[in-house]
Chains A and B, each alone.
Chain A
Amino acid sequence: EEPVTPGSRRPEARYGKGRQQRMADVPSNAPEHCPGTASEDAGKVSACQGCPNQALCASGASKAPDPAIQEIKEKMMSVKHKILVLSGKGGVGKSTVSAHLAHGIASDDTKQVALLDVDICGPSIPKMMGVEGEQVHQSGSGWSPVYVEENLGVMSVGFLLSSLDDAIIWRGPKKNGLIKQFLRDVDWGEVDYLIVDTPPGTSDEHLSIVQYLSATPVDGAVIITTPQEVSLQDVRKEINFCQKVKLPIIGVIENMSGFVCPKCQHESQIFPPTTGGAMKMCKDLNIPFLGKVPLDPRIGKSCDEGKSFLSEIPDSSASVAYKDIVKRIQEHCDTHSSEVEKNA
């Protein structure tokens, strides 16, 4: 056994920050010192000799922006605010928060809300919004979202599947294509808030959504976590991702924060904050903390039944917490847009 040292013959080295950034755009058939297809040196340096992509990179085609980005920019002009709901970690409540954020904002009749589910492998939003089994209709102006309320429309790959057992077993490029269509071809109309629910991770879907929205202002990301370190560990990576792609962070929500026994009212920490929870992480990273939502079994039940927890059990501590968080997010968006107008 020998320790791995720089230059020793090994397929992949330790991944430092700079190297990872470049690796994001290194094709799988590229030579060892590929500068990256988006680099200024693409196709032009000695490492490119013999690479099958050399001509393409040298022509600048690999760096040319996708025409869809401009089309999406135009489509998004009728959308005032865009919020991405992210988490490095799975199962922390992204879809639950997205759905209730949508319901919360749409409780104001004067606001038009759109909820876009880009979790292509595990689309939970149709079920949570009570519209599982609905189909998407196409009109002259594009795909029509499924309306839960008059002022709340939803789009998800779930509506494109004919059976609840259908699996979408696609590699990245095909998923990216669908995300592009969701942004470009759905006829959202005039929208005050577009909320985008994402799958866990920092991969194709996340890169694509940020890339396709790059020509249009995005208010920022709402990041969800549970109190434990195993979640925070992944959430720090997501924060790292947001910083790398220059996506502003609206704040972090700590979900499943404390459980109150319905019988004896004793509070337990089912998911204990062994390293200080989200509050400490936000303090350390200087990121806004939006609030805590407790673990209430009735939330899961409402989601399973496709109902809004905020209407079902409005007086619970969880509903109160949600409403407060929704208010903070809206305040951030209003401040943010007035700053954008000031700077325009």
Chain B
Amino acid sequence: RARSRRRAEQAGDMEMAEDNLASVDHILLVLSGKGGVGKSTITTELALALRNAGKKVGILDIDLCGPSIPRMLNVVHSAVHQCDAGWVPVYVDSDKTMCLMSIGFLLESPDDAVIWRGPKKTALIKQFISDVAWGELDYLIVDTPPGTSDEHISVVEALRQHKPDGALLVTTPQAVSIGDVRRELTFCKKTGLPVIGIIENMSGFVCPNCSECTNVFSRGGGEALAEQSGVPFLGCVPLDPQLTHSLEDGRDFIQAFPKSAAFDAINKIMAKILNNDNEFSAHNT
């Protein structure tokens, strides 16, 4: 926790009492210009992989219109409690190695639409950053909605003083997705957010009957974009309907994930992120 201590010293004692992110070592943002490419799925899978590797992980879901993560981790009906430092995030397991904050917990019914304009969304996101008592975490992963608008501008601004490690950009292989992700790369450049790398999701489907691999959403786009833009390509994650099935149920996903085809791919991506973080920490020492 050397980095947290250094940050706390810089912030000064007064501010540390109020800085709920003081004991969070690494902050990652999962972005995509494109909707439906698997940001929430990849966020959840990455968080589980990191937890598997012995890390304490928190997830902040700032998709206010479509909060998907509570269902994926089977904590839909959980309530948010309050403590002295602010709101307590919802723990998904009894040993408290993984926690989550999402607007999903603040709605009376999961079907309630959050029909807010930008300023209201910005206000809640700032609260999620400053008023949630995250405690000691190795990683905080921030899941975002698609786009380059209020949520993204606000979260980058609010996190700036906490020096996030950077962004993971998720895409599917097709040109239509790549077209939007390029804009997200521009967003990162303009806002000074480092890009850790690009992940290509839904990369191929293996027919369970004949094992023929079909490129349902085309192929190769993610890697080509990474090369073109000069950012690291972190890897491909295949389409895995069995995993999708258990993700839907939430209940089994945490157990099913380590046995799935996607697990290997995610672990390899996680290894690259851990490597990148070691370099990052070394650079900042």
Q: Which residues of A contact B (CB under 8 A)?
A: 1-4, 8, 10-17, 20-21, 23-24, 26-28, 88-92, 95, 120-122, 124, 127-128, 164-173, 175, 199-204, 206-207, 226, 228-230, 233-234, 236-238, 240-241, 244, 259, 261-264, 266, 268-272, 274-275, 295, 297, 300-301, 303-304
Contact = CB atoms under 8 A, between A and B. Distances in A.
Chain B interface size, under 10 / 10 to 19 / 20 to 34 / 35 or more: 35 or more
Contacts of B124: 12
For the complex of A and B, the 10 pairs showing the least CB-CB separation, nearest first, are A91-B36, A90-B35, A172-B118, A121-B147, A266-B209, A201-B65, A304-B175, A167-B183, A167-B186, A237-B113
Contacts of B113: 20, 88, 202, 237-238, 240-241, 244
Given A4-B79, A238-B113, A168 B148 contact: yes
Interface of B: 33-37, 40, 65-66, 68, 71-72, 79-83, 87-88, 106-108, 110-124, 127, 131, 145-150, 152-153, 172, 174-176, 179-180, 182-187, 190-191, 205, 207-210, 212, 214-218, 239, 241, 244-245, 247-249
Contact of A12 (B106, B153, B174, B179): B106
Contact of A274 (B88, B116, B248): B248
A17 B113 CA distance: 8
A21 B33 CA distance: 28
A8 B82 CA distance: 10
Contacts of A28: 119-120, 122-123
A247 to B, nearest CB: 12
Contacts of A263: 207, 210, 212, 214
Contact of A200 (B118, B145, B186): B145
Contacts of B207: 261, 263-264, 266, 268
A226 B88 CA distance: 34
Contacts of A128: 176
A297 B215 CA distance: 7
Contacts of B176: 95, 124, 127-128, 300, 303-304
A227 B179 CA distance: 25
A116 to B, nearest CB: 18
Contacts of A233: 66, 68, 71, 110
14 contacts: A28-B120, A90-B34, A90-B36, A120-B149, A127-B175, A165-B182, A172-B117, A200-B36, A203-B150, A234-B66, A237-B114, A241-B115, A297-B214, A300-B174
Nearest to B80: A4
A262 B72 CA distance: 31
Nearest to B34: A122
B122 to A, nearest CB: 7
The interface centre, meaning the residue of A3, A165, A237 with most chain B CB atoms within 10 A of its CB, is A237
B192 to A, nearest CB: 12
Nearest to B35: A90
Given A88-B65, A90-B146, A202-B115, A121 B120 contact: no
Contacts of A121: 33, 146-149, 180, 183
A161 to B, nearest CB: 9
B210 A264 contact: yes
Contacts of B148: 121, 167-169
B74 to A, nearest CB: 12
A300 B127 contact: no
B182 A164 contact: yes
A175 to B, nearest CB: 7
Contacts of B185: 165
Given A11-B131, A269-B241, A300-B176, A229 B248 contact: yes
A270 B147 contact: no
A132 B237 CA distance: 29
Given A241-B113, A270-B241, A199 B72 contact: no
B118 A171 contact: yes
Contact of A301 (B72, B87, B218, B247): B218
A122 B35 contact: yes
Contacts of B34: 90-91, 122
A229 B121 CA distance: 25
Given A124-B180, A233-B66, A297-B216, 19 more contacts: A3-B81, A4-B81, A14-B108, A20-B114, A24-B115, A89-B66, A121-B146, A121-B180, A122-B33, A167-B33, A167-B184, A169-B148, A199-B147, A200-B35, A230-B40, A237-B112, A264-B209, A266-B209, A303-B174
A89 B87 CA distance: 28
Contacts of B186: 165-167
B206 to A, nearest CB: 10
A23 B120 contact: yes
Nearest to B70: A233
Contacts of A269: 241
B241 A268 contact: yes
A301 B259 CA distance: 32
Contact of A202 (B36, B114, B131, B150): B114
